[in-house]
């Protein structure tokens, strides 16, 4: 990596032969001008440095175009400027049930693709492109752009799989017939929020990939085939995220239904016991009125009313027990 330079990593090649490594903006432009059949990729930091502005000027981009690429958390999109395609994408990862996104911007020109990314994800992209080797010879700079987009989609797929695994854990807990605990409900809420945020990213990403594929000439069958594969993967992950959102909604609804069923069961038992307790209370209250009753004030009356209380409570207990009300 060039220490302190605006271009973190770069590589230029002709066919299967690498002709330069770690060039800054001016040197990279010189190599491409001197070798009309060369292609290159470069990773630059997401900062508006003089070197980046100079590289953008070489490609015919003004400060407004650069500013559009550097705007944080911008919606995924593709726009044409001069002879370049400006691409905005978001790479997403899951950290402790929260979705973390990474801005990835690209300038795609005929001979070069310039990737603007943070240090961590930029290193990851550079390592992937270095390891691509012969795959870059198939389509030049456009092939490098495909590999970057494919890596972003891979990151999204990995995040989706993590969310699916976490969702399956919650679903398995519900199979026991018990509602989720308070902590698990909070986990489910955070997962659903993450999936909602992910849906806002996957749909525009699909449009970006489709638009990039539409810019490939019909005669370029190899690149078109590569873009078609990426489109298929993007469509699949979009469908999976939608299904995951529906699944988490079902988990919430099921947990709520189990909560309601449990509350109904508790209320039914409380009502049953209240009825059993009410019978003796009614009898003793009736007998305790200031009105003369049979056997009132006698030992026999005590046993008669005690027996009536026991029989009434016992009958109610047996009936409620048979009906599973208590």
Domains in the chain with CATH codes: 9-259 (3.30.460.20), 263-322 (no CATH)
User: What does each of the 326 residues of the chain score in pLDDT, given as a tens digit?
Assistant: 333 443 447 888 888 888 888 777 778 888 888 888 888 998 888 888 777 787 888 888 888 888 888 888 778 999 988 889 999 999 999 888 788 888 999 999 988 999 998 888 888 999 898 888 778 876 788 889 999 999 999 999 999 999 999 888 888 887 776 777 888 888 888 888 899 999 999 999 999 999 998 887 766 778 888 889 999 999 999 999 999 999 888 888 888 877 887 888 888 888 888 888 888 888 887 777 766 766 666 778 778 888 888 888 888 888 888 888 77
Q: In a 3-state reduction of DSSP, which class is residue 240?
A: helix
Q: How far apart are CA 147 and CA 135, in angstroms?
A: 9
Q: Which of 79, 88, 5, 82 is nearest to 43 (CA)?
A: 5
What value does the mean pLDDT of the chain take? Answer: 84
Phi, psi dihedral angles at 309 (to 5 degrees): -65, -45
For the record, the structure tokens of 290 come out as 């200031």
Query: What is the SS3 assignment for 267?
Result: helix
> According to the model, what pLDDT value does residue 5 have?
41
Beta-carbon-side half-sphere exposure of residue 159 (alpha carbons within 13 Å) = 31
For 188-234, the pLDDT digits (tens) are 888 888 999 999 999 999 999 999 988 877 667 788 888 899 999 99
Cβ-based burial of 182 (10 A; exposed 0-12, middle 13-18, buried ≥19): exposed
Q: What is the pTM of this model?
A: 0.77
The percentage of the chain sitting over the pLDDT mark of 90, rounded to a whole number, equals 24
Residues 6+ apart with CB under 8 A from 94: 100, 159, 162, 163, 194
The pLDDT value given to residue 183: 84
């Amino acid at each position: 990596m060039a220490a302190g330079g605006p271009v973190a990593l770069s590589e230029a090649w002709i066919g299967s032969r690498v002709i330069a490594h770690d060039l800054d903006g001016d040197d990279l432009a010189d190599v491409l001008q001197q070798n009309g059949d060369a292609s290159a990729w470069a990773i630059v930091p997401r900062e508006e440095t003089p070197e980046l502005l100079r590289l953008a000027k070489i490609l015919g981009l003004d400060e407004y175009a650069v500013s559009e690429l550097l705007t944080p958390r911008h919606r995924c999109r593709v726009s044409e400027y001069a002879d370049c395609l400006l691409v905005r994408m978001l790479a997403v990862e899951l950290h402790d049930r929260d979705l973390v996104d990474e801005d990835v911007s690209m300038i795609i020109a005929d001979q070069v693709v310039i990737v603007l990314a943070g240090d961590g994800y930029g290193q990851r992209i550079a390592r992937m492109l270095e390891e691509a080797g012969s795959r870059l010879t198939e389509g030049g700079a456009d092939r490098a752009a495909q590999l970057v987009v494919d890596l972003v989609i891979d990151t999204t797929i990995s995040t989706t799989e993590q969310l699916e695994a976490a969702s399956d854990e919650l679903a398995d807990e519900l199979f026991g017939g018990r509602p989720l605990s308070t902590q698990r409900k909070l986990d489910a809420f955070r997962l659903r929020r993450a999936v909602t945020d992910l849906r806002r990213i996957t749909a525009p990403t699909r449009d970006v990939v489709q638009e990039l594929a539409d810019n490939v000439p019909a005669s370029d069958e190899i690149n078109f085939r590569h873009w078609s594969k990426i489109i298929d993967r993007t469509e699949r992950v979009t469908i999976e995220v939608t299904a995951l959102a529906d699944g988490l909604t079902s988990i919430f609804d099921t947990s709520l239904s189990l909560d309601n069923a449990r509350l109904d069961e508790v209320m039914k038992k409380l009502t049953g016991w209240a009825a059993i307790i009410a019978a003796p209370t009614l009898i003793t209250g009736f007998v305790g009125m200031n009105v003369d009753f049979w056997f009132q004030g006698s030992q026999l009356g005590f046993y008669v009313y005690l027996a009536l209380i026991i029989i009434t409570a016992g009958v109610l207990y047996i009936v409620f027990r048979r009906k599973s009300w208590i």
